[in-house]
Amino acid sequence: MVTSFSQNILKRLDQGICPYILVLFHMTMGSLLVYLYPRSNLAFLVLITSFFSLYYFNTHRLFKLATGVILTLLIFPVVGVRNIFYLEVIFQISVFSALALGLNIVVGFAGLLDLGYVAFYAVGAYLWAFFGSQQYYILHYAPGTQPSGLPFLLPGDAFYLFIFVAILIAALTGILLGTPVLRLRGDYLAIVTLGFGEVIRVLANNLDKPLNFTNGPQGITPIQRPTMPHFAVDSFNALFSNIVGHRVSAADMYNVMFYFFALIVIVVIVFVTRRLDDSKIGRAWTAIREDETAAIAMGVPLVKMKLAAFAVGASFAGAMGVLLAGSRTFISPESFSFMQSIGVLSMVILGGSGSIPGVILGAATVTILNLQVLQGLSLYLSQLRQSDAVIPIIHFAWANLSTQLDPAKYQRMLFGLILVLMMIFRPAGLIPSKRRKRELSSEANVIEE
């Protein structure tokens, strides 16, 4: 009764001009709240979730597009430079969205479980890290012993070229890895990709001898940033310094720029994914995912199609790797652990494998949980530890709580819970892909009949 009533209301709200008002209201509320309370996480969440209402409510496509563009290109950067922490969150969301979308091609479309996805990310990152830093000149020095004042190997302009180089190299790596192992069944493939991910990480850790390629566990730094057009900072300041409240430095502007780059990659991935999904290749992938044997019987070139999925997924990760190296100016093997691979996987699974909006939602949710909720909890706990508060009933002083208990470090628990719960209760994800939806509804019809 209650559910039908609320469904009725929702339906009413989703007709005519109502959805437009709701979306705009949500958006302006979010922006206003963030403007008034620049430090409040809650306000930021209201703003971020306006994307969700934009996706959910039934509005004209052009309106959706325009609002989305305004949100991503105008409001987020301005909000971001006002509070630099938000910019970091937004940037991370977009980086992980791009990675998750790339993995989605492999896992969601072709049904190949890739547990070493960050290996390709690492390939891209180390590619630019090597060529965009002084590493070439210290090939013969052990880590930490190089002379100072060395030049950079390539100028910052080369960054833009290297995004494309990384796409090629990462795709090649994917093909090289895939050729021998893609004949394997799903679960074996998962373990082999996991192994490959570890191999890349161990190589990055140890290739500081005999020639110092990666600088070992210390990682490579500094890495060149790409050159930024001169007018960028000035024009941004001229337009927005009133709203932001202070003049934006070049360093902040770099973060905005990398956020835009990540957005561009996302747009490209979404475009490519959608076109591929509707093409012959996409149908071949679906066939492979649903039933390999039947796909072979129908004449789908199995290994070729799997390789294509692997290469496309890997190439996007490679591009994001270059972006990471450029934006952080520092990379180390730490960033490419198995946990990162599983993190990206849990984003895909949470959102719904094979569903583009789902995967973006998954990436945003996991990143926010990771960066805001877990870290917020950590902060709260450390405050409690410093106070002399006591847990009632059991008389346990917070101050005695172990300092090892730092929720921000419990990402594995988060990822693990997401994976298990989603698999048991909602295997198709929060926003199931359209094809899955059709399958599920047809199954339901069969049962009802």
Partner 1 sequence: MKRFLKPINVRELLRPLGQMIYFSLGSTVVLSTIVLVLALILDKTVVGAALYERMNVSLFTYTLTNLPQVTLDGLTIGFVYAAIALGYTMVYGVLEFINFAHSEIFATGAFVGVEILIALEKYGVLSHASLAMAYVYLILAIIAGMIAAGGLAVAVERVAYRPLRNASRLVPLISAIGVSFFLQDTIRLTESLTTGQFNRIIPSFGNFDHWVIFSRMTLGTAHLTIGMSVKSIIVIVSAVLMLIGLNYMVNATKVGKAIRAVAQDHPTASLMGIDVNRVISLTFLVGGMLGGAAGVLYALKFTRIDPFVGFFPGLKAFTAAVLGGIGNMTGALLGGIVLGMLETYAGAFMGVFTMGAAGTEYKDIFAFGILILVLIFRPQGLMGTNVAQKA
- Using rule CB under 8 A, residue 293 touches partner 1: yes
Q: Does 349 bind partner 1 (CB under 8 A)?
A: yes
**Least distance in Å: CB of 180 to partner 1?**
5
Which CB sits closer to partner 1, 192 or 257?
Answer: 192
Decide: is 205 part of the binding site for partner 1 (CB under 8 A): yes
- How far apart, in Å, are the Cα atoms of 65 and each of 58, 60, 109, 273? 13, 9, 25, 18
Q: How far is the CB of 146 from partner 1 (least distance, A)?
A: 20
Residue placing its CB nearer to partner 1 in the complex, 272 or 430:
430
Q: Which are the contacts of 143, defined by CB distance < 8 A and separation ≥ 6?
A: 208, 212, 215, 216, 218
For partner 1, the binding residue among 42, 251, 397, 417 (CB under 8 A) is 417
Map residues 80-109 to x or -, x wherever contact with partner 1 holds by CB under 8 A.
------------------------------
Question: Is the separation of the CB atoms in 200 and 333 below 8 Å?
Answer: no
Q: How far apart are CA 387 and CA 404, in angstroms?
A: 17
Q: Which residues contact 361 (CB under 8 A, 6 or more apart)?
A: 52, 350, 351, 430, 431
Contact 385, 401 (CB under 8 A): yes
Would you say 90 or 110 has its CB closer to partner 1?
110
CA distances from 356 to 35, 62, 203, 262, 375 (A): 30, 19, 33, 16, 28
Number of residues that bind partner 1 (CB under 8 A): 48
As a whole number of angstroms, the distance between CA 402 and CA 274 comes to 49
**Of 19 and 432, CB closest to partner 1:** 432
206 lies in the binding site for partner 1 (CB under 8 A): yes
| Distance between CA atoms of residues 173 and 167, nearest Å | 10
Among 223, 344, 418, 431, binds partner 1 (CB under 8 A): 418
On whether the CB atoms of residues 9 and 57 are closer than 8 A, the answer is: no
24 near partner 1, rule: CB under 8 A = no
| H-helix or E-strand spanning residue 329 | none
Q: Which of 94, 212, 255, 346 binds partner 1 (CB under 8 A)?
A: 346
Q: What's the rounded Cα separation, in Å, for the pair 189 and 228?
A: 42
Q: Whose Cβ is closer to partner 1: residue 165's or residue 184's?
A: 184
Measured in whole angstroms, the distance separating CA 158 from the mean position of its chain's CA atoms is 24
CB of 203 to partner 1, least distance (A): 8
Q: Which residues pair with 343 in a beta bridge?
A: none
> Does residue 444 touch partner 1 according to CB under 8 A?
no
What is the dihedral angle through the alpha carbons of 143, 146, 148, 149, rounded to the nearest 10 degrees? -100
- Tell me if 345 contacts partner 1 by CB under 8 A: yes
Structure token pair of residue 161: 């070229």
Output the CA torsion 65→68→74→76 (10° steps): -170
For position 332 contacting partner 1 by CB under 8 A, the verdict is no
Q: Which of 178, 263, 415, 436 is in the footprint of partner 1 by CB under 8 A?
A: 415
Give the contact letters, 361-400, x = binds to partner 1 (CB under 8 A), - = no: ----------------------------------------
Binding string, residues 158-197; x marks residues near partner 1 by CB under 8 A? ----------------------xx--xxxxx-xxx-xxx-
**Dist. CA 123–CA 322, nearest whole Å:** 9
- Contact yes or no for 126/214 (Cβ under 8 A): yes
Q: Which of 157, 245, 427, 440 binds partner 1 (CB under 8 A)?
A: 427
Tell me: does residue 110 bind partner 1 (CB under 8 A). no
Residues of the shown chain interacting with partner 1 in the complex, contacts defined by CB under 8 A: 111, 113, 115, 180-181, 184-188, 190-192, 194-196, 198-199, 202-203, 205-206, 209-210, 291, 293, 338-339, 342, 345-346, 349, 402, 404-405, 410, 412-413, 415-421, 423-424, 427
